[in-house]
């Protein structure tokens, strides 16, 4: 495949290097990150205004131990209670938060833990996001699977027993257009009961098309809700447009998707404010679309190709546990996913408290499931987006969950 959809650093011209330097050092050279680009759908919605009002006003340091105690005593967790539970004042109450979260999880999910796996089908990207291994200025091995290769990967994964798949691409409409992703969804529907997509944000009609092709739900990471910080991290490409990304889940629901997932990449900015905004994003959309399934992911920064120094700034496991417990207490009905970015030990513990979904048999590279699942060597493998921490297979994950007295679930949907 020709390298038309990213910048090949082996052939950086002086002009390209100059542009990269200017993007990094001169904000005046960047486009306005709050202005829509041509072709981007604008919808009328008050969700963003509601979320950002709380985000801007939130001062985590103003909350006291008394505020946290009151929050834990209330039967229903209000937005103000949630803010207290995310604050530094709540850290000494982590055990009590975990106990409350465990009760709420049991009420709404019993002892079930859902298992899925991601499949990256392309890693071409047109964005320059400084923390991402796929960014267009990063010299990595690029690959886009064709339909035959996609089907082969999906068959291998399906033979392992997996019934839910999440399809991912780099953010490049040139290399991975909507039709390409749609064909991948059609193939996935042959092998899996649940099909999710985590790709670039789209317009409502495009989401409707992918739903017709077989996609059930859409995941979009806002990365950070801090618009000023967002501007310094996303220097080029469609992803630079913050408001278009924010409204992606609502466009997906308008396009007929059954469910949507939300996340900030914890560690990019103030993690407490980002966690607040993530949950409120789901909260306010749920009030508008009560039929929709909502879920939250809780990823932290991980090392990437060519930059092993990228790690969460101040989000340690204790803080991550606090966030997840606060999510569960505030939104007891939402699914909470903890990915293979986290360690085996952490994931084993958090599924007994608040998390309801984990990934297994994970690769963030392109085209290597034959090697991963069957021990065969693959010639063409695209580089990974980031390094994972927990590499357990489906069989091992399933057994580990059962050994903890929990019920692993591969699918609970019946199509008629």
The predicted-structure confidence for 337-357, as pLDDT tens digits, reads as follows 998 889 999 999 999 999 999
H-type alpha helices, 74-174: 79-86, 94-109, 147-159
In a domain, 404, yes or no: yes
Which residues are CB-contacts of 155 (< 8 A; sequence separation ≥ 6)?
191
In a domain, 184, yes or no: yes
- CA atoms of 331 and 338, how far apart (whole Å): 16
CB 277 within 8 A of CB 225: yes
Closest CA to 176 of 386, 382, 388, 387: 382
In a domain, 28, yes or no: no
Whole-model pTM above 0.85? yes
In a domain, 70, yes or no: yes
In a domain, 307, yes or no: yes
Closest CA to 339 of 348, 331, 349, 347: 347
In a domain, 189, yes or no: yes
How many domains is the chain partitioned into structurally?
A: 1
Query: What whole-number percentage of the chain has pLDDT above 90?
Result: 77
- CA atoms of 274 and 382, how far apart (whole Å): 31
CB 361 within 8 A of CB 117: yes
In a domain, 94, yes or no: yes
- CA atoms of 413 and 279, how far apart (whole Å): 25
Q: Residue 208's domain spans which residues? A: 43-409
The Cβ of residue 272 has, within 10 Å, a number of other Cβ atoms equal to: 24
Lowest mean per-residue pLDDT among 149-158, 237-246, 268-277, 307-316: 307-316
CATH classification at residue 212 = 3.20.20.70
Average pLDDT value for the chain: 90
Closest CA to 163 of 140, 188, 181: 188
CA angle 268–170–122, rounded 5-degree value:
145
pLDDT digits (tens, 9 = 90+) for 70-121: 999 999 999 999 999 999 999 999 999 999 999 999 999 999 999 999 999 9
DSSP 184-251: HHHHHHHH-SEEEEE-S---HHHHHHHHHHT--EEEEEEE-S-HHHHHHHEEESGGG-HHHHHTHHHH
In a domain, 5, yes or no: no
């Amino acid at each position: 495949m020709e390298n038309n959809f990213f910048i090949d650093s082996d052939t950086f011209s002086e002009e390209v290097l100059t542009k990269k330097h200017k993007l990094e050092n001169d904000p005046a050279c960047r486009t306005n990150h709050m202005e829509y680009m041509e072709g981007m759908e604008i919808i009328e919605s008050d969700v963003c205004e509601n979320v950002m009002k709380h985000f801007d006003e939130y001062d985590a340091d103003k909350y006291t131990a008394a505020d946290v105690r009151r929050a834990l005593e209330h039967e229903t967790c209000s937005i103000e209670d949630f803010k207290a539970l995310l604050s530094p004042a709540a850290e000494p109450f982590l055990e009590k938060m975990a106990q409350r979260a465990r009760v709420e999880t049991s009420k709404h999910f019993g002892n079930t833990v859902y298992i899925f796996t991601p499949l990256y089908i392309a890693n071409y990207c047109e964005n320059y996001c400084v923390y991402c291994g796929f960014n267009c200025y990063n010299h990595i091995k690029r690959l886009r699977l064709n339909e035959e290769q996609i089907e082969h990967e999906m068959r291998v994964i399906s033979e392992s027993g997996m019934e839910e798949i999440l399809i991912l691409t780099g953010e490049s409409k040139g290399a991975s257009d909507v039709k390409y992703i749609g064909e991948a969804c059609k193939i996935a529907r042959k092998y899996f009961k649940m099909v999710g997509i985590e790709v670039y944000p789209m317009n409502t009609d495009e989401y409707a098309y992918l739903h017709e092709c077989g996609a059930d739900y859409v995941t979009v990471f806002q990365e950070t809700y801090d618009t000023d910080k967002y501007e310094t991290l996303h220097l080029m490409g469609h992803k630079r447009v913050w408001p278009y990304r924010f409204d992606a889940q609502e466009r997906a629901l308008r396009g007929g998707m059954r469910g949507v997932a939300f996340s900030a990449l914890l560690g990019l900015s103030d993690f407490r404010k980002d966690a607040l905004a993530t949950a409120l994003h789901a909260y306010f959309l749920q009030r508008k679309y009560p039929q929709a399934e909502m879920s939250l992911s809780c990823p932290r920064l991980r090392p990437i190709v060519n930059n092993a120094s990228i790690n969460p700034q101040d989000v340690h496991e204790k803080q991550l546990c606090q966030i997840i417990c606060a999510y569960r207490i505030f939104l007891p009905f939402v699914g909470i996913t903890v990915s293979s970015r986290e360690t085996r030990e952490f994931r084993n513990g958090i599924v007994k408290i608040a998390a309801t979904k984990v990934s297994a048999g994970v690769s963030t590279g392109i085209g290597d499931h034959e090697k991963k699942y069957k021990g065969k060597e693959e010639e063409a493998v695209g580089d990974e987006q980031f390094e994972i921490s927990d590499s357990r297979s489906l069989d091992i994950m399933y057994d580990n969950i059962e050994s903890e007295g929990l019920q692993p679930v591969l699918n609970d949907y019946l199509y008629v």
